[in-house]
């Protein structure tokens, strides 16, 4: 598989904050400088730029070109990936494809957003009038529908959702880059007693909008070997699905595109869910992680709560999950939020997890969720398998 010839040779992440006092390009420049220092590369060696979507730049149809200009990068390939929370992992996949195709050799994958400080999005009336019913107040309401439907079909032990929330918060407590407001330990009772946002979605089910960013340097395996990098991580499986079952009049909202995307990624990697060393699922809401456990084959559909009950998701457990805290306990960096989970997976595979380092570094599984329309599954689902043993 072509992506196996692509190596992640460095990662970088700034501290997540509730509201940044810096411009989005200033954050990007800090990440770029850190990546250059870690790799020993000159800026001129970067000949590709792949960005995640940015709420800050939502009104700019030339976002990748403008960002290249602001960072003084002259590149042979650039792209802004616009699949919502799937964009960071999708950007890495597209960078790998571009390198394999010979369009470039070394790509800066940059995931930055200052959605709280400076949102550039403009909601058009089409969505508000024709696809979102009156009173639908965004993702919390949509995930409330999904949660209620799941409970109706299979039953739901909310204390097991709380167990996931606690495991992630334990990771954030150990993560200096997590938003300080979220670095306080919680218990399952704290989760259960947190106030309702959109019944049955609680406050501790939900992400908090924040500002920040992260990034990767991706290069060809040949170049990585030539430069003698000691640490490298390789994508060995990738699946992406957009508009899963959207053509159907009636869909089961507890099914998602992670099912076919995951099957494709696992087949390419030659692995199954039972082989995964650590799991870094996209986590805008707690219920989303449990549904992904089912869609990816960690357990059968409807048995997510039983699976959670039987496993330890802390960094020292049998299935470490979002060991840095995930977006829910680090903060959601706008449309760049998927980079939080992706970079934590790379950090763990580099063996640089510090006081939250996992034991099994054979591989890591990363996912993305991009958009949640009314009465349908997630707009886009992505699944990627990474390994340091490429």
Interval 223-235: pLDDT, tens: 999 999 989 999 9
- Residue 128 is assigned to a structural domain of this protein: no
Note the pLDDT of residue 325.
98
Residues 214 and 200 in one domain: no
Residue where a domain terminates, one of 165, 196, 227: 227
Average pLDDT, the chain: 94
pLDDT for residue 126: 42
Instruction: Report how far residue 60's alpha carbon sits from residue 205's, in angstroms, rounded to the nearest whole number.
Output: 32
Token code pair at residue 123? 């909601």
pLDDT in tens, 33-56: 999 999 999 999 999 999 999 999
Q: Averaged over 101-113, what is the pLDDT?
A: 97
Q: Are residues 98 and 159 in the same domain?
A: no
Sign of the alpha-carbon torsion through 23, 28, 30, 31? positive
When divided into structural domains, the chain yields a total of 2
Q: What is the pLDDT of residue 313?
A: 98
Phi, psi of 270 (to 5 degrees): 70, 35
Other C-beta atoms closer than 10 Å to the C-beta of 130 total 8
Tell me: cis bond preceding 214? Omega within 30 of 0 counts.
no
Q: By percentage, how much of the chain surpasses pLDDT 90?
A: 85
> Residue holding tokens 């998927």?
338
88 lies in the same domain as 168: no
**DSSP 3-state of 113:** strand
Q: Token pair of 62, please?
A: 């030339």
Model confidence, pTM: 0.96
Task: Evaluate whether 10 touches 39 at the Cβ level (below 8 Å).
Answer: yes
CA nearest to 237, candidates 209, 271, 281: 271
pLDDT band with cut points at 50, 70 and 90 for residue 216: very high
Residue 374 lies in a domain: yes
Confidence band, pLDDT 50/70/90 cuts, at residue 284: very high
User: Is 156 inside a domain boundary?
Assistant: yes
Q: Among 168, 193, 227, identify where a domain stops.
A: 227
Which CA distances in Å does 10 have to 105, 231, 236? Answer: 15, 8, 17
CA 57 from centre of chain:
19
Q: Are residues 170 and 100 in the same domain?
A: no
Task: Give a yes or no: residue 126 inside a domain.
Answer: no
Q: Is residue 107 part of a domain?
A: yes
pLDDT in tens, 161-201: 999 999 999 999 999 999 999 999 999 999 999 999 999 99
Q: What is the DSSP letter of 138?
A: S
CATH of the domain at 274: 3.40.47.10
Q: Are residues 239 and 113 in the same domain?
A: no
- Would 372 be classed as within a structural domain? yes
- Contact between 363 and 386 under an 8 Å Cβ cutoff? The reply is yes
363 and 324 share a domain?
yes
Q: Residue 125: is its pLDDT beyond 50?
A: no
Q: Say yes or no: 349 and 244 in one domain.
A: yes
pLDDT, tens digit, 9 for 90 and up, residues 132-160: 666 677 788 889 999 999 999 999 999 99
* pLDDT value of residue 130: 56
Q: Which of 198, 227, 256 is the endpoint of a domain?
A: 227
Domain-located, residue 125? no
C-alpha 204, offset from chain centre = 19
Please check whether residues 248 and 111 belong to one and the same domain.
Answer: no
Same-domain status, 33 and 140? no
Are 220 and 146 found together in one domain?
no
Classify residue 319 as exposed, middle or buried by CB count within 10 Å of its CB (0-12, 13-18, 19+): buried
Whether residue 131 lies inside any domain: the answer is no
* Domain boundaries, position 50: 2-120+210-227
Query: What pLDDT does residue 123 have?
Result: 61
Q: What is the DSSP string of 15-54?
A: PPBSS-SS-HHHHHHHHHHHHHHHHT--GGG--EEEEE--
Using CA atoms, how far residue 181 sits from 185, 278, 334, in Å, is: 11, 26, 17
Residues 328 and 370 in one domain: yes
Of 229, 313, 243, give the one whose Cα is nearest residue 40. 229
pLDDT digits (tens, 9 = 90+) for 305-320: 999 999 999 999 999 9
279 and 373 assigned to the same domain: yes
Residues 6+ apart with CB under 8 A from 377: 244, 245, 246, 251, 253, 255, 256, 257
């Amino acid at each position: 598989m072509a992506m196996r010839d692509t190596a992640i040779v460095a990662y970088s992440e700034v501290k997540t904050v509730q509201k940044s006092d810096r411009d989005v390009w200033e954050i990007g420049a800090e990440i770029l400088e850190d990546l250059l220092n870690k790799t020993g590369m000159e800026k001129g060696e970067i000949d590709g730029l792949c960005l995640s979507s940015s709420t800050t730049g939502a009104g700019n149809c030339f976002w990748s070109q403008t960002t290249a200009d602001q960072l003084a990068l002259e590149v042979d390939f650039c792209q802004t990936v616009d699949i919502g929370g799937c964009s960071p992992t999708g950007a890495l996949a597209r960078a790998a494809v571009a390198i394999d195709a010979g369009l470039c050799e070394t790509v800066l994958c940059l995931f930055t957003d200052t959605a709280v400080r400076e949102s550039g999005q403009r909601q058009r009336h089409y969505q508000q009038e024709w696809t979102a019913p009156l009173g639908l107040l965004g993702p919390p309401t949509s995930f409330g529908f999904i949660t209620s439907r799941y409970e109706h079909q299979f039953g739901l032990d909310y204390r097991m959702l709380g167990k996931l929330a606690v495991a992630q918060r334990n990771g954030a407590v150990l993560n200096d880059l997590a938003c300080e407001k979220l670095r306080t330990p919680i218990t399952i009772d704290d989760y259960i007693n947190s106030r309702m946002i959109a019944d049955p979605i609680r406050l501790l089910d939900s992400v908090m909008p924040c500002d920040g960013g992260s990034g990767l340097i991706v290069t060809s395996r040949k170049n990585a070997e030539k430069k003698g990098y000691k640490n490298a991580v390789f994508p060995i499986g990738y699946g992406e699905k957009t508009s899963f079952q959207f053509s159907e009049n009636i869909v089961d909202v507890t099914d998602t595109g992670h099912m076919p995307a995951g099957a494709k990624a696992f087949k390419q990697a030659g692995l199954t869910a039972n082989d995964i060393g650590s799991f870094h699922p996209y986590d805008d809401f707690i219920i989303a992680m449990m549904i992904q456990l089912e869609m990816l084959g960690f357990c059968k559909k409807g048995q997510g709560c039983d699976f959670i009950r039987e496993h330890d998701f802390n960094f020292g457990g049998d299935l470490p999950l979002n060991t840095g805290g995930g977006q829910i306990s680090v903060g959601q960096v706008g449309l760049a939020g998927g980079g939080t989970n992706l970079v934590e997976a790379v950090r763990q595979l580099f063996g640089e997890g510090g006081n939250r380092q996992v034991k099994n570094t054979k591989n890591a599984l990363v996912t993305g969720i991009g958009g949640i329309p009314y009465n349908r599954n997630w707009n886009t689902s992505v699944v990627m398998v990474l390994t340091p043993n490429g």
